[in-house]
Structure 1
Amino acid sequence: MVKPVFLGKLVLHWCPECNVPVLDEKCACGCQTKFVTVTPPADIRPAFPYDIKRINEVSVRQFGKKMIADGEIAVYNKAPYDDRMEEIICGGEIIGTIRFEIDKPGWVLLPRLSGARRIFNKNSKTEDPDAETNLKNWIMVHEKAIPFVADGSSVLVPGILKTAPGFEKEDEVVIITPDFEVIAVGRAKMSAEEIAASERGKAVKTRWTGIEEENEINTAASVMPADKTIPEGTATRDIWQKTIEANRRVIDKFEADSIRFMQNAANNMNRKLTCSYSGGKDSLVTLHLTEKAFGKDSGNEREYEIIFADTGLEFQETIDNVKEVVEIYGKPFKETSAGNAFWEEYKINGPPSVDNRWCTQSCKLMPITTVIETNYAEDGGCMTFIGQRQYESKARAKSQRIWKSPSVRGQIGAAPIQEWTAMHVWLYIFDKNLHYNPLYEKGLDRIGCWLCPAASLADFENLKHTHPEAMKMWEGKLVEAGVEKGIENPEAWVKFGLWRYDKLPPLMQKLAAEKGVKYKK
């Protein structure tokens, strides 16, 4: 298990009155908020409709029913894991986790007690007389076993009354009483068929256990917004309008602090001003703040230019978004492209890896250097406002807010949103109605080089649906590279993301052995 890392302050709270997330101890309505404990680094963000759809699809596949109601506000918190894992926060608590398990490969939902109680509860049979048939992956225990399981014990075969059919060993299961009340969730250590045929043995290793409190909120309907149910297809920013208003003071304060920082930094540096725009959410907010700080309506008008370095591996949606955003702001635009550099070097180096990202120099640093040296060298360089945030990585958390670039000559970087979480960023985007990259609505967690080896396997699986032709081409090239390397079972080497490593970490070594992937000695 990957250890959590603190990169910044944990800021997620929940307003019990408005029933929305708030990034402060007090909601704009005046109500004191409840602190929500999440796993660090806590770079929380809104769960988009695409995310909710995925959660519910997995919930229906595993348990036979949706876990989140249509239009319900949910927050994602990316937690440390071997691939991609998100904590799901609704109604002021974590109701479960959804993670991408590499060995399947596929998404798995791990509900907590409150999440399981949205699916299974004492009203289940009243609402659906065929609940035992329609709901999945449940195990019903005898009355005498209830206190032991609820207190944290594993579920043993002798204590089982009956089970749903069809679940397999290592599936997620929900432990219920004869009244359909949830007392535990965990992972099956025997299949339903094995349980039925056995008289003894450990059937489930429980993860979360406990008896439901009398006043506990336990259904999706009870945590829906009180004023309205939001119809499917509603724009994401409209779904989050109530949350924006609840965070009004936070949004305004963070904006004012960032603008003040930018103006002070610019006044202390006698350099031309630029803003780096990549087509991503962070640089979009940074660009808008640059306009607020130095635009014609700022009261502190000063010229600045927008710069963009195309790595040659950008999504077409990103290229389109950059052009559209530049047109919206109407500022001088300086750009360059790495062109075909990646594919030329690929012929020599083969696929890049986490251990050897040879492409960074040719596709990222060289184009940025070209933009700066070509346009600003005669002026002594430039100051560039960059959408860097401390919650993204250890390196960025340790970074100064203003720095002299060690790799790009003549550039001084400044990070106005260094202390913002992704939630601050998105609430600002929604509030100001900024023109963000549509790829975020399609399940992409990061916008950058589309075939980056540092991306999760979950991201590559998603690309098979959003950009099937590109992924088909890339996987074909990877299989060819695997054959050239003398790898046995190169298809599995690609399918399970093993190509991303020159030296396999322990987990990947185990996976390679299980999938029959052998490396030439």
Structure 2
Amino acid sequence: MTTAPAIIIPTDISAMVREIETTYASFLENFRIPSDHVIVVNYSGGKDSTATLAIAHHLFGDKVQNVMADTDNEHEYTIEYAKNIHTQVGCRPVQLVKRIYSAADFARRRAYMKKNWSKKQAIRMGAYRGVVMPSLGRADTAFGQAWLKTAKRWGIDFETALDAALSVMHPSGNSFLDAALLHGKFPMLRDRFCTDELKIQIAYDAAIRPMLDEGEVVVQWSGVRGDESSKRAGYDRFAVDMRDEGYLFNFLPIHQWTAADVFALHRYFGIKPNPLYLQGASRVGCMNCVLCNKEEISETAARWPEHIEKHRQWEMKVRLASRWVHWMSTGTVSQAWVNSIIGFREITNRRGETVKVRRLLGDVPRLYGLDTEVQHLDWSGFYGPRGGMGAPSVTEVVEWARTGRGGKVYDLVKASLNTATCSSRYGLCE
């Protein structure tokens, strides 16, 4: 990890830009990349990608092309900033691309659900591995009748859980929501399909692949900094992109820079940062990212509550598309009971005694038809598990985010946040 200097003067920045120029030239020579290659800056509207764009244009002018993938979960300020950044930098306008999920994508998903959700299914992994779950397409079973009580609690009128799920399986016009509906869940730490589908793949398909198809050699410049995480610190500064070996490469020009360096470069080139940085934002990207921290959630709730409401509405739809939520929304039982039926079964021995023995492979328990009342799981949570809660809604997560450490007492600093004044985590307010 690097440590940001307290003060950076313009001559420092000019030297750092020269280092990038010299290092890049060395990489081009070592990898035998032709001088007429194309540079594509992966842009996000944030501080790091803006610095990368400015450096690339400063060194190579109109040779540089810029692309940004709009996930449909960005703040409107970020989209507007990206559309106009060329007026500050003097570069080409940023090409905005977006993954569009078609009616055909949803038709395929509906066909899959009709075929498979009508069947019983054994869970393949996790604590409930081996448990056989019931059909979601029948109303004449004990599970179906129990689910109707859930539908009443949710305020929806469908005969079966499958009918409810199919009702939302149509393009919404929002790419992020459509991706969640098709996956039946929101992105998670170990399944970031939002990044894969809504950013990386669409940028490649819409902007980079056409160049490669024409025989161009492309180097992608990305504003990744090593001090953001230990994982990013381990990235190579220059590398071959295996999606098209020999024609596609990746370069991280500011990999060794700090946030202070990045904002010093903004000042050096006279670029105003994304206005979100003057309103308390520590990072700019999705508003909010499903993996954002507690402070970011409370900040968003205070300054941009409309985005919190947006995510709450998304949750209400995605929960219908989640088979797991439908199964569990009829109620779950105590963990001790679940452990007892998953790991063991009861038998009567020769002496007439009832004893528990460990289950054999293939001897699966069945949970459907149970009348349970311990817990209700109503959500496919946008933010995932937070604050010790297994499946909290957006509303519950926001309340937790307003508390201090431990989640038991409300944080007075957060409660007294003045959203009308400039607030910058990077000391940008004058």
The Cα shift of 1:364 comes to: 1.5
Q: What residue identity is the alignment partner of 1:250?
A: D
The Cα shift of 1:304 comes to: 2.0
Q: What residue identity is the alignment partner of 1:323?
A: K
Q: Does residue 298 of structure 2 align to residue 468 of structure 1? A: no
Q: Does residue 49 of structure 2 align to residue 257 of structure 1? A: no
Equivalent of 1:275, from 30, 41, 46?
A: 41
Equivalent of 1:395, from 193, 212, 231?
A: 231
Over aligned residue pairs, what C-alpha RMSD do you find?
3.5
The Cα shift of 1:489 comes to: 6.6
Secondary structure of 2:214's counterpart equals helix
Secondary structure of 1:453's counterpart equals coil
Once the two structures are superposed, residues 135-187 of structure 1 have per-residue CA deviations (whole angstroms, 9 ceiling, x without a partner) of xxxxxxxxxxxxxxxxxxxxxxxxxxxxxxxxxxxxxxxxxxxxxxxxxxxxx
Q: What residue identity is the alignment partner of 1:445?
A: S
What's 2:268 paired with? 431
Q: What residue identity is the alignment partner of 1:343?
A: L
The Cα shift of 1:431 comes to: 2.8
Equivalent of 1:309, from 35, 59, 69?
A: 69
Equivalent of 2:249, from 404, 408, 412?
A: 412
The Cα shift of 1:278 comes to: 1.4
Equivalent of 1:498, from 382, 385, 399?
A: 385
Equivalent of 1:382, from 211, 218, 224?
A: 218
Residues 281 and 312 of structure 1, relative CA distance in 2, 3 Å threshold: same
Question: How far apart are the structure 2 equivalents of 1:341 and 1:389?
Answer: 28
Residues 344 and 407 of structure 1, relative CA distance in 2, 3 Å threshold: farther
Residues 320 and 277 of structure 1, relative CA distance in 2, 3 Å threshold: same
Equivalent of 2:81, from 304, 318, 321?
A: 321
Q: What residue identity is the alignment partner of 1:304?
A: V
The Cα shift of 1:494 comes to: 6.1
Q: What residue identity is the alignment partner of 1:337?
A: K
The Cα shift of 1:345 comes to: 2.7
Residues 497 and 443 of structure 1, relative CA distance in 2, 3 Å threshold: farther
Contact conserved, 2:40 with 2:66, CA < 8 A, in 1? yes
The Cα shift of 1:406 comes to: 4.3
Percent identity for Structure 1 against Structure 2: 21
Q: Does residue 100 of structure 2 align to residue 336 of structure 1? A: no
Once the two structures are superposed, residues 240-283 of structure 1 have per-residue CA deviations (whole angstroms, 9 ceiling, x without a partner) of xxxx5xx3443232122123223444564222122222111111
The Cα shift of 1:321 comes to: 0.7
Contact conserved, 2:48 with 2:262, CA < 8 A, in 1? yes
Secondary structure of 1:314's counterpart equals coil
Secondary structure of 2:66's counterpart equals strand
Q: What residue identity is the alignment partner of 1:303?
A: K
Mean Cα deviation higher: 492-501 or 398-407 = 492-501
Residues 397 and 494 of structure 1, relative CA distance in 2, 3 Å threshold: same
- After TM superposition, list the pairs within 5 Å mapping 1:101-140 onto structure 2: none
Question: How far apart are the structure 2 equivalents of 1:478 and 1:489?
Answer: 15
- After TM superposition, list the pairs within 5 Å mapping 1:337-376 onto structure 2: 337-339=98-100, 340-348=174-182, 349-370=184-205, 371-376=207-212
The Cα shift of 1:306 comes to: 1.7
What's 2:59 paired with? 293
Mean Cα deviation higher: 486-495 or 425-434 = 486-495
Once the two structures are superposed, residues 371-421 of structure 1 have per-residue CA deviations (whole angstroms, 9 ceiling, x without a partner) of 211234312441122111111122221111111234677531111111101
Mean Cα deviation higher: 386-395 or 449-458 = 449-458
Q: What residue identity is the alignment partner of 1:284?
A: T
Question: How far apart are the structure 2 equivalents of 1:458 and 1:497?
Answer: 16
Contact conserved, 1:355 with 1:503, CA < 8 A, in 2? no
The Cα shift of 1:490 comes to: 6.1
- After TM superposition, list the pairs within 5 Å mapping 1:143-222 onto structure 2: none
Secondary structure of 1:498's counterpart equals coil
Once the two structures are superposed, residues 202-257 of structure 1 have per-residue CA deviations (whole angstroms, 9 ceiling, x without a partner) of xxxxxxxxxxxxxxxxxxxxxxxxxxxxxxxxxxxxxxxxxx5xx34432321221
Question: How far apart are the structure 2 equivalents of 1:376 and 1:435?
Answer: 34
Question: How far apart are the structure 2 equivalents of 1:495 and 1:414?
Answer: 33
Question: How far apart are the structure 1 equivalents of 2:311 and 2:292?
Answer: 14
Question: How far apart are the structure 2 equivalents of 1:479 and 1:454?
Answer: 19
Q: What residue identity is the alignment partner of 2:84?
A: E
Residues 411 and 466 of structure 1, relative CA distance in 2, 3 Å threshold: farther
Residues 362 and 427 of structure 1, relative CA distance in 2, 3 Å threshold: same
Once the two structures are superposed, residues 306-333 of structure 1 have per-residue CA deviations (whole angstroms, 9 ceiling, x without a partner) of 2222223222111111111124424264
Question: How far apart are the structure 2 equivalents of 1:452 and 1:279?
Answer: 15
Q: What residue identity is the alignment partner of 2:230?
A: K
What's 2:127 paired with? none
Contact conserved, 1:385 with 1:413, CA < 8 A, in 2? yes
Secondary structure of 2:187's counterpart equals coil
Residues 377 and 435 of structure 1, relative CA distance in 2, 3 Å threshold: farther
Question: How far apart are the structure 2 equivalents of 1:477 and 1:501?
Answer: 22
Contact conserved, 1:314 with 1:449, CA < 8 A, in 2? yes
Question: How far apart are the structure 2 equivalents of 1:500 and 1:345?
Answer: 26
Larger % of helix: which?
2
> Structure 1 stretches of 5 or more lacking a match?
1-6, 13-20, 23-243, 296-301, 517-521
Q: What residue identity is the alignment partner of 2:219?
A: M
Q: What residue identity is the alignment partner of 1:419?
A: Q
Q: What residue identity is the alignment partner of 1:338?
A: R
Question: How far apart are the structure 1 equivalents of 2:281 and 2:20?
Answer: 27
Question: How far apart are the structure 2 equivalents of 1:289 and 1:422?
Answer: 15
Question: How far apart are the structure 2 equivalents of 1:490 and 1:480?
Answer: 14
Contact conserved, 1:479 with 1:490, CA < 8 A, in 2? no
Contact conserved, 1:383 with 1:413, CA < 8 A, in 2? yes
Residues 333 and 424 of structure 1, relative CA distance in 2, 3 Å threshold: closer
